[in-house]
Chain A
Amino acid sequence: MNDTRIITGNEAAALAVKLARPGVIAAYPITPQTSLAEKLSEYVERGDLKAEYVRVESEHSSLTVCISASAVGARVFTATSSNGLLYMHEQLHWAAGSRLPVVMCCVNRGVGAPWSIFNDQQDSFSQRDTGWIQIYCRDNQEILDTIIQAYRIAEEVYIPVMVCYDGFILSHTMMPVEVPDARMVKKFLPPYKPHTILSPDDPRTINPVFFPTRRENSEGILCDGYMEMRYKLQAAFEKSGEVIRSASREWAEITGRDHGGLIWEYMTEDAELILTGMGSIATEATLAADVLRAEGIRAGVVGIRAYRPFPKAEVAQAFKKATAIAVFEKCISYGYEGGVCSDLKAAFYGTDIKSPIHDYIAGLGGRDVKTGEIVDAARATLESTRAGDAGNKTVWLNCYTGLKDEG
């Protein structure tokens, strides 16, 4: 029986967590994640979800609780936003370095200072290099489906997964969401069977001090040094792309919903102009593509679903025929440019893709990004490219910069 409900992104996330059956949940409230943390505590207190819910005193502790509970073999969940995620920073590295399959939602919000409670993606973007898989969702259905897939992925490659979705735009906006059957989810995601656990049955000291060099254990076997451990994390990331793709494929087979593996595409087949981005801004770009198509411009959209591992091969393929490229992103690497833009350029290096890339920094701190603004920006990109301007550029969309030509 089809169970479709009109719910917010946070409720879709809570339902997904319930279906994934974690043994331990730890969370500290922060806008816009709060209603997710509240909903989960309600499930646990009502007995709808059999889990230990640790109501911690900080985000640093919420991720720590998840790390240690995962180390003894429990499936775990936490969620946060913005400065809460930044406060976890040390533990983000610790979770990834420990190779534990923690799943966390980051309900994307701008970071202080100055304070903003509204959406952009600077929070998760700034944690890019902590060793977590990052998947960005475009709508509430994808949030639900991705959280369930995230456990499959994390528990296969032993890399923690951050499921990112835009604060308010998704977290507090109601949309129809199809809720899958619990038995079906259980089949897709069986109980967690960890390969190593912290237990008196097999005592070991986990994460002690490592030396730069490899060292022999008491039996004379040469064991990893710090660098080998790091290499293994990177090697697992290289394998993770296929795991993300297959989790997505298998989910599509049983639910009929395919959100793409590492990327998704919208009318790219014949596209001369490709718009790209992560999360809800990429959804907005599909509306812009429709408008542009109506004007006779062959526009398409590539949505970056997995930001880490970066879909290098996929984007090189998807952008192959594009003569103009516009990136719309809600984050920036200060002193350079938007992160997605940099990564695309790096992925295109050595390929035949020579089209200029225009990077639009948009929607920071919740500034609305309207379809029309994306359309105008995309049109400008195409016109400048057609006029023979081969230069890349970074533009702050709908932002008063004090330059002369602004009103």
Chain B
Amino acid sequence: MNENIFKINDKEYILPGNRACQGCGLSLAYRYILKALRENTIVAIPPSCLCVLHGLYPTTSVIVPALNTTFASNAASASGIVAGLDALGKGDITVLALSGDGGTYDIGIQSLSGAAERNTNFIFACYDNEAYMNTGTQRSGATPMGAITTTTPVLTKQEPKKDFLKIMEAHHIPYLATVSPAYPADLYEKFVKAKRIRGTRYIHIDTPCPPGWDYPTKDTVKIARLAVETGLFILFEIENDRFRFTGRSKIMAERGKLLPLVNYVERQGRFKKMSIEQLNSLQTSVNSRWNECLKRAEG
């Protein structure tokens, strides 16, 4: 299986016009996720930007079945969908739980960890826009150090971003991957692959957010690309505990060099109060993670 951009399913599952903000990274990613998973899919939704994207009753812009649940419970809700489908002999339906970073890192971590430990047969994808964006950019466990949010308005966030991928990796699930809306072919391939694997599959989506990150709406793809090219967000997959770079990150690992982090930071208003020390500290952690990944890819 090597799907390329020309082989992508041309059917659309999100009708033109939805309630996401202009330039929404989630909107871009979700379009390709659904193309990869196709019709025979049920989506579990917590209260979040995705809930808004789906529209206000009685209209919706999405033509796959979706079940809303409460904030802490999306992975449990998806577990219930899986159990119900199994009980009814409909186990061939793909179940996707799609939560933001709040619903994954913070309030949602308990039900996600429980479901992953049980190796529940579903895909859990986190669209990480690095703050509570649906309520207007409050700090989350995924917010990077040095970012302004509405609950860190003066001093910026002082703590580094939680290393959630490590937490998920520690569950030793069959498949774990990262994707970016700037690289739709890589994203598409990973969701197609995930669909064919049984057990818990976790996919992390870097999700630039124009209002929350404070950059022009036309720059979403550019920002997402810079995240990858600076090594801040690394495209990879871990299958049966084996790590490998994919897409743009693979090319960079083979012959490229990382762009300096400042290229990414300077384009976003949320970092305008970031100190040199914070920038240096972030650069150091990016370098060390990149080197760690290079070593793992060799091994």
Which chain A residues have a beta carbon within 8 Å of chain B's beta carbons? 23-24, 26, 51-52, 54-58, 60-61, 64-74, 76, 90-91, 94, 198-200, 202-211, 215-218, 221, 223-224
Option from B66, B88, B118 in Cβ contact (under 8 Å) with A205: B66
Q: Are A74 and B114 in contact (CB under 8 A)?
A: no
Q: Which residues of A contact B65 (CB under 8 A)?
A: 198-200, 202-206
CB-CB contacts of B198-226 with A at 8 A, as 1s and 0s?
00000000000000000000000000000
Query: Which B residues from 165 to 219 make CB contacts under 8 A with A?
Result: none
Query: Which B residues from 57 to 102 make CB contacts under 8 A with A?
Result: 57-60, 62-70, 72-73, 76-81, 83-88, 90, 93
Counting chain B CB atoms within 10 Å of each CB, the highest count among A67, A76, A208 belongs to A208
Q: Which residues of A contact B57 (CB under 8 A)?
A: 208-211, 215, 223-224
CB of B24 within 8 Å of the partner chain = no
CB of B56 within 8 Å of the partner chain = yes
By the criterion of a CB under 8 Å from any partner CB, how many residues of chain B are at the interface? Answer: 46
Q: Which residues of A contact B40 (CB under 8 A)?
A: 200
Residue of B nearest to A204 (CB): B65
Q: Tell me, rounded to whole Å, the shortest Cβ–Cβ distance linking B93 to chain A.
A: 6
> Given A57-B114, A72-B85, A218-B59 in contact, is the A94-B69 Cβ separation under 8 Å?
yes
- 30 chain-A/chain-B pairs, Cβ below 8 angstroms: A23-B87, A24-B80, A54-B118, A56-B76, A56-B114, A60-B111, A64-B76, A65-B77, A65-B80, A67-B69, A67-B77, A68-B44, A68-B69, A68-B78, A68-B80, A68-B84, A69-B80, A71-B80, A73-B84, A73-B88, A90-B70, A204-B66, A205-B54, A205-B66, A206-B67, A211-B57, A215-B56, A215-B57, A215-B59, A217-B59
CB of B39 within 8 Å of the partner chain = yes
Question: How far is it, in angstroms, between the C-alpha of A216 and the C-alpha of B39 when the chains are bound?
Answer: 26
Q: Tell me, rounded to whole Å, the shortest Cβ–Cβ distance linking A66 to chain B.
A: 6
> Given A24-B83, A56-B114, A71-B84 in contact, is the A205-B68 Cβ separation under 8 Å?
yes
CB of B268 within 8 Å of the partner chain = no
Q: Tell me, rounded to whole Å, the shortest Cβ–Cβ distance linking B169 to chain A.
A: 19
Question: How far is it, in angstroms, between the C-alpha of A72 and the C-alpha of B113 when the chains are bound?
Answer: 23
Q: Tell me, rounded to whole Å, the shortest Cβ–Cβ distance linking B103 to chain A.
A: 13
CB of B259 within 8 Å of the partner chain = no
Q: Are B78 and A209 in contact (CB under 8 A)?
A: no
> Given A56-B79, A64-B80, A209-B57 in contact, is the A91-B73 Cβ separation under 8 Å?
yes
Question: How far is it, in angstroms, between the C-alpha of A139 and the C-alpha of B86 when the chains are bound?
Answer: 35
Q: Which residues of A contact B84 (CB under 8 A)?
A: 23-24, 52, 68-74, 76
CB of B262 within 8 Å of the partner chain = no
Q: Which residues of B contact A204 (CB under 8 A)?
A: 60, 65-66
Q: Are A24 and B42 in contact (CB under 8 A)?
A: no
Q: Which secondary structure dominates where chain B touches chain A?
A: mixed
Q: Which residues of A contact B67 (CB under 8 A)?
A: 68, 71, 198, 205-207
Residue of B nearest to A55 (CB): B118
Other CB < 8 Å A-B pairs besides A60-B111, A205-B54, 14 of them? A57-B110, A58-B110, A64-B77, A65-B76, A68-B79, A68-B81, A71-B84, A72-B84, A90-B70, A200-B42, A205-B66, A206-B66, A206-B67, A208-B51
CB of B117 within 8 Å of the partner chain = yes
Which chain B residues have a beta carbon within 8 Å of chain A's beta carbons? 39-42, 44-45, 51-52, 54-60, 62-70, 72-73, 76-81, 83-88, 90, 93, 110-111, 113-114, 117-118
Question: How far is it, in angstroms, between the C-alpha of A215 and the C-alpha of B55 when the chains are bound?
Answer: 12
Counting chain A CB atoms within 10 Å of each CB, the highest count among B40, B79, B83 belongs to B83
Q: Which residues of A contact B59 (CB under 8 A)?
A: 215, 217-218
Question: How far is it, in angstroms, between the C-alpha of A196 and the C-alpha of B211 when the chains are bound?
Answer: 38
Question: How far is it, in angstroms, between the C-alpha of A91 and the C-alpha of B266 when the chains are bound?
Answer: 43
Question: How far is it, in angstroms, between the C-alpha of A70 and the C-alpha of B40 when the chains are bound?
Answer: 19
Q: Are A209 and B88 in contact (CB under 8 A)?
A: no
Question: How far is it, in angstroms, between the C-alpha of A24 and the C-alpha of B80 when the chains are bound?
Answer: 8
9 tightest A-B CB contacts, nearest first: A68-B80, A23-B87, A57-B114, A69-B84, A61-B76, A65-B80, A72-B84, A64-B76, A74-B84
Residue of A nearest to B79 (CB): A65
Question: How far is it, in angstroms, between the C-alpha of A346 and the C-alpha of B72 when the chains are bound?
Answer: 38
Q: Tell me, rounded to whole Å, the shortest Cβ–Cβ distance linking B79 to chain A.
A: 5
Q: Are A209 and B56 in contact (CB under 8 A)?
A: yes
Residue of B nearest to A71 (CB): B67
Question: How far is it, in angstroms, between the C-alpha of A223 and the C-alpha of B79 when the chains are bound?
Answer: 31
Q: Are A208 and B64 in contact (CB under 8 A)?
A: no
Q: Tell me, rounded to whole Å, the shortest Cβ–Cβ distance linking B122 to chain A.
A: 11
